[in-house]
């Protein structure tokens, strides 16, 4: 089978699932407060778009979450990639920081939410810090692995061509490690997004995580579904953007 | 013959590796003199230190004692006057064929007006003129080696250092590459230090063969290859000279094992 026929199968499965849901909706088989029918979602969506939620517009809720995720992620990229390069190039620095990184990595970030809330309050700082920390750890590890993975002979070949150390760093090591750095960015972007929603579930007054938590408390299940679907679509879009960037920048990797 | 007249002179070179409580004597009293525009091969069993020696000539490593001089100047660091060709092509995968070839001179600040025509010339000399916009992942193993050779030839090195460059290629491609190397040597007259464990290859391409012993690596025998040039494999492979050199080298290597 060709790649296209597999894609067709995926589309058909999604289509079938939607069809079952729509049929059940119009047959009146779905309870709006358990698994809502299409109509209930439409009503909820229209209400959200027109009237917002809990005193704030729907797009303000979305932007709050996206803003937190991107802020934490951007800070992690700005600091984590240089630190990762340093870890990858210096055995000494690696020896100093890797025990902490190794210990921190298996801790589920959610376990840190109460502590971060205690330290930084329920405002933006606690959520952005949590996202920053998680994305940072992941980026450092991936960037360092990418830098360490540059073949020693490629560096020797570059020296032999007469490149300076500075040129070897910027023109050889960084591009050679870029594939793994970009993959690390894509995965930590996805992590940042899942994490912001999780953090908002626990302590927030605005955001998609807050919306689904609050709506559940008041049994407004169609709103919960709209929130979850929105989270999923934005997650897909963010991943898609980074994947497209990766494919474009790393075209030289071939298939 | 004075040292300055040699393209490369390796004089009494010794190298010992120490670490983890082990002391490995890799090379002992190596003396090699390579005349300009000749092809000299080093053959020897695995681990005999032939790659170590080549890396010292490249400037990646230093001898513990002895001296290595290139055109009379001591080797102190890596540089474009020695063109190294690795067995695993060390290309820049994010650069296309053309960009790979010009990368060295471009980074060294050579004028584009000088390296652009040179790139065209060497790419067509190695048979890659049609593939300048291809990326390394799109090339076959033999084509990657051709690119690696063009990338060092453009620097007009005093010597080509080739570390089993055709060892990973299939038989037919290897023969093609050996023939290409001889053609390039006929046109550009470079000096070549060639490392191989393929005796057939050593006899076919070389003017002189040094046979090395197993560790500690020493030169146990030197053969001058008295075969006419230009050489075609099909013309020389069945000659008595070729056969005798092969067998003599083989017997030495058997003894060295």
Tell me what the pLDDT averaged over chain A comes to. 92
Task: With cut-offs at 50, 70 and 90, classify the pLDDT of residue A121.
Answer: confident
Q: Contact B93/A252, CB-based, under 8 Å?
A: yes
Q: Is B137 on the interface with A (CB under 8 A)?
A: yes
Per-residue model confidence (pLDDT) at position B1: 43
CB-based contact A117:A202 (threshold 8 Å): yes
Give how far the C-alpha of residue A117 lies from the chain's centroid of Cα atoms, to the nearest Å. 21
- Nearest CA-CA distance, residue A153 and chain B, Å: 7
Q: Pull the structure tokens for residue A57.
A: 């517009």
Q: Is A156 on the interface with B (CB under 8 A)?
A: yes
Q: How far apart are CA A146 and CA B98, in angstroms?
A: 26
Per-residue model confidence (pLDDT) at position A110: 86
pLDDT tens sequence for chain B (257 residues): 444 478 899 999 999 998 878 888 999 999 999 999 999 999 998 888 899 999 999 999 999 999 999 988 999 999 999 999 999 999 999 999 999 999 999 999 999 999 999 999 999 999 999 999 999 999 999 999 999 999 999 999 999 999 999 999 999 999 999 999 999 999 999 999 999 989 999 999 999 999 999 888 999 999 999 998 889 999 999 999 999 999 999 999 887 55
DSSP structure string for B6-60: SSEEEEEEEEEEEETTEEEEEEEEEEEEE-TT-EEEEE--TTSSHHHHHHHHHTS
Which of B58, B78, B137 is closest, CB to CB, to A253? B137
Instruction: Give the tens place of pLDDT for each residue, A157-216.
Output: 999 999 999 999 999 999 999 999 999 999 999 999 999 888 888 778 899 999 999 999
DSSP 8-state assignment for residue B213: P
Q: Contact A172/B92, CB-based, under 8 Å?
A: yes
What does pTM read for this prediction? 0.86
Q: Pull the structure tokens for residue A143.
A: 């960037």
Nearest-by-CA chain A residue for B148: A157
Distances (CA, A) of A113 to A101, A119, A241, B150, B159: 18, 10, 28, 58, 63
Q: Is A254 on the interface with B (CB under 8 A)?
A: yes
* ipTM value: 0.92
Domains of chain B, each with CATH number or no CATH: 33-61+75-81+159-257 (3.40.50.300), 88-156 (no CATH)
């Amino acid at each position: 089978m060709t790649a296209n026929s597999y894609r067709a199968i995926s589309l058909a499965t999604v289509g079938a699932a939607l069809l079952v849901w729509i049929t059940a909706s119009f047959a009146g088989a779905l309870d709006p407060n358990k698994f809502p029918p299409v109509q209930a979602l439409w009503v909820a969506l229209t209400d959200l778009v027109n009237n917002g939620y809990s005193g704030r517009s729907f797009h303000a809720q979305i932007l709050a979450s996206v803003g937190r995720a991107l802020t934490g992620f951007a800070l992690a990229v700005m600091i984590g990639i240089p630190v990762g390069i340093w870890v990858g190039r210096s055995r000494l620095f690696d020896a100093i920081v890797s025990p902490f990184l190794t210990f921190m990595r298996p801790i589920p970030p959610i376990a840190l939410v109460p502590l971060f809330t205690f330290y930084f309050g329920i405002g933006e700082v606690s959520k952005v810090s949590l996202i920053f920390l998680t994305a940072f750890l992941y980026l450092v590890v991936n960037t360092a692995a990418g830098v360490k993975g540059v073949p020693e002979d490629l560096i020797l070949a570059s020296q032999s061509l007469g490149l300076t150390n500075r040129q070897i760093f910027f023109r050889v090591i960084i591009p050679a490690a870029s594939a793994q750095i970009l993959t690390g960015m894509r995965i930590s972007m996805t992590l940042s997004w899942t994490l912001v929603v999780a953090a908002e579930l626990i302590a927030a007054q605005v955001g998609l995580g807050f919306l689904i938590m609050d709506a559940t408390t008041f049994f407004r299940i169609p709103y919960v579904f709209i929130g979850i679907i929105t989270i999923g679509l934005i997650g897909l879009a963010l991943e898609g953007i980074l994947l497209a960037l990766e494919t474009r920048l790393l075209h030289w990797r071939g298939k | 013959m004075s040292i300055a007249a040699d393209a490369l002179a390796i004089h009494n070179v010794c190298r010992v590796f120490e670490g983890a409580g082990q002391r490995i004597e890799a090379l002992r009293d190596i003396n090699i003199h390579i005349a300009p525009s000749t092809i000299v091969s080093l053959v020897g069993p695995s681990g005999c230190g032939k790659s170590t020696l080549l890396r010292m000539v490249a400037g990646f490593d230093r001898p513990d004692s002895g001296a290595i001089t290139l055109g009379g100047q001591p080797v102190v660091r890596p540089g474009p006057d020695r063109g190294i060709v690795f067995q695993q092509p060390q290309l820049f995968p994010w650069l296309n064929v053309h960009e790979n070839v010009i990368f060295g001179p471009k980074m060294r600040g050579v004028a584009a007006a000088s390296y652009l025509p040179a790139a065209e010339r060497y790419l067509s000399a190695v048979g890659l003129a049609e593939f300048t916009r291809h990326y390394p992942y799109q090339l076959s193993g033999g084509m990657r080696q051709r690119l690696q050779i063009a990338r060092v030839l453009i620097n007009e090195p005093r010597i080509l250092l080739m570390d089993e460059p055709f060892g990973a290629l299939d038989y037919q491609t290897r023969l093609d590459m050996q023939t290409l190397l001889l053609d390039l040597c006929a046109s550009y007259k470079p000096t070549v230090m060639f490392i191989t464990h393929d005796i057939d290859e050593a006899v076919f391409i070389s003017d002189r063969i040094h046979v090395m012993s197993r560790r500690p690596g020493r030169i146990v025998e030197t053969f001058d290859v008295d075969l006419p040039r230009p050489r075609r494999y099909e013309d020389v492979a069945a000659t008595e000279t070729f056969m005798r050199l092969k067998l003599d080298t083989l017997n030495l290597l058997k003894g060295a094992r």
